[in-house]
């Protein structure tokens, strides 16, 4: 009788909840950094859609992709909206098994974890893509009766959505010789201007993209001079990512001491990247981004707590995820001096097409 009553009341509670994509995550011992990151990825709608696609899921099982499989099951639970919170126990244990550095109860860096997690998911999805390509090559080979090289696959939904590219122009200060190079990025780690109490995210971006001069031990080898020379470096973005992830370098050094910079970095719901884009990008639709998630860090270097603020694409409302506690917040409360990571999307998210939603 008692059990039945409990079941009924829990069913009532679950019925009442019914908020797809809004699900708190229980803390399993200092795991707030993991929870905050998982919430941000759960709000990245096109990424979730791709992973929850039935074909992708079947392939993940066939290719024995443990990290992605567990992550996808968790996303499904969070998007079905049946309960106000769930326990990411399996996700944590599978992550700890491949990333032993996270297998303890100490506070970790959310940004580092996000990069590790995306890498692990990318590796799993590469396995799926290779398996698919191999099987289609085998079919072709049979048809054409010849041998094929090993399948080479480099891109996945992870690189497609989160990867951008920076371009560097270096200028020898002695002979004016110019050289160009590029580098892909997933997160832009932005410096915060020092000795001020407030600035804007544009100030941080300007500082990141500011022209620098490499001198002394940092001088670069000039191919024309054949010597190490003082070199000017100009950085710009020549491939803006679909999802722009900005990380504020709040943890710095002051003399010998590690300090947390508490500068209030102002950001708005939209971000214009035009000033930082390479002149070769003509399409202006590339420059405007909408904010959809924020990771906050409160406290200091050793004793801190992470929370996430994410916009739900179905209701267009913001929620604060503090481990298992979830509350709706006014748009005006998204801005805070605790912002540590900002996630922007180039396209506003549509209502998610998820099986069973």
Please report whether residue 175 would count as binding Zn ion according to CB under 5 A: yes
Distance (Å, whole) CA 210 – CA 188: 14
| Choices 123-131, 223-231, 284-292, 327-335; region in contact with Zn ion by CB under 5 A | 223-231
Which residue in the set 48, 72, 78, 172 belongs to the binding site for Zn ion (CB under 5 A)?
172
Which residue in the set 221, 225, 325, 329 belongs to the binding site for Zn ion (CB under 5 A)?
225
Instruction: Report the residue number, 151 or 232, with the smaller CB distance to Zn ion.
Output: 232
| Choices 218-226, 233-241, 287-295, 305-313; region in contact with Zn ion by CB under 5 A | 218-226
Q: Which of 96, 297, 305, 319 is catalytic?
A: 305
Which residue in the set 130, 177, 260, 346 belongs to the binding site for Zn ion (CB under 5 A)?
177
| Choices 19-27, 37-45, 215-223, 274-282; region in contact with Zn ion by CB under 5 A | 215-223
Instruction: Report the residue number, 13 or 174, with the smaller CB distance to Zn ion.
Output: 174
- Active site annotation includes 122: no
Q: Which of 32, 40, 42, 65 is catalytic?
A: 32
Please report whether residue 72 would count as binding Zn ion according to CB under 5 A: no
Instruction: Report the residue number, 82 or 177, with the smaller CB distance to Zn ion.
Output: 177
Please report whether residue 7 would count as binding Zn ion according to CB under 5 A: no
How big is the site for Zn ion, counted in residues (CB under 5 A)? 7
Please report whether residue 224 would count as binding Zn ion according to CB under 5 A: yes
Please report whether residue 174 would count as binding Zn ion according to CB under 5 A: yes
**Is residue 313 within 8 Å of 293, Cβ to Cβ?**
no
Which residue in the set 121, 222, 339, 354 belongs to the binding site for Zn ion (CB under 5 A)?
222
- Active site annotation includes 305: yes
Q: 160 is written with which tokens?
A: 């497609």
Using CB under 5 A as the criterion, which residues of the chain lie in contact with Zn ion when the complex forms?
172, 174-175, 177, 222, 224-225
Q: Which residues are catalytically annotated?
A: 32, 305
């Amino acid at each position: 009788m008692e059990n039945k009553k409990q079941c009924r009341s829990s069913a009532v509670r679950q019925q009442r909840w019914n908020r797809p994509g809004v699900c708190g995550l229980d803390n399993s011992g200092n795991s707030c950094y993991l929870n905050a990151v998982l919430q941000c990825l759960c709000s990245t709608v096109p990424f979730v859609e791709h992973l929850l696609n039935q074909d992708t899921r079947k392939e993940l099982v066939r290719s024995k992709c443990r990290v992605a499989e567990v992550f996808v099951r968790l996303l499904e639970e969070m998007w079905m909206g049946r309960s106000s919170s769930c326990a990411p126990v399996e996700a944590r244990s599978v992550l700890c098994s491949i990333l032993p550095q996270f297998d303890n109860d100490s506070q970790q860096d959310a940004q580092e974890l996000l990069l590790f997690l995306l890498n692990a998911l990318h590796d799993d999805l590469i396995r799926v893509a290779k398996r698919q390509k191999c099987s289609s090559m085998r079919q072709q080979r049979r048809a054409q009766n010849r041998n094929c090289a090993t399948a080479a696959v480099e891109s996945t939904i992870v690189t497609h959505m989160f990867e951008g590219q920076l371009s560097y122009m270096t200028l020898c200060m002695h002979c004016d010789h110019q050289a160009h190079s590029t580098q892909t990025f997933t997160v832009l780690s932005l410096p915060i201007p020092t000795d001020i109490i407030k600035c804007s995210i544009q100030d941080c971006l300007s500082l990141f993209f500011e022209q620098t001069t490499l001198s002394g031990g940092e001088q670069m080898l000039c191919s024309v001079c054949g010597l190490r020379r003082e070199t000017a470096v100009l950085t710009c973005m020549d491939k803006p990512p679909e999802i722009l992830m900005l990380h504020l370098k709040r943890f710095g050094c002051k003399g010998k001491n590690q300090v947390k910079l508490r500068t209030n970095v102002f950001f708005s719901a939209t971000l214009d990247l035009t000033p930082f884009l390479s002149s070769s990008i003509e399409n202006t639709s590339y420059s405007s981004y909408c904010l959809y998630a924020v990771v906050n860090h409160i406290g200091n270097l050793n004793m801190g707590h992470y929370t996430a603020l994410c916009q739900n694409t179905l209701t267009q409302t913001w929620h604060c995820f503090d481990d298992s506690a979830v509350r709706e917040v006014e748009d005006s409360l998204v801005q805070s001096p605790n912002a540590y990571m900002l996630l922007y999307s180039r396209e506003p998210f549509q209502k998610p097409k998820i099986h069973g939603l």
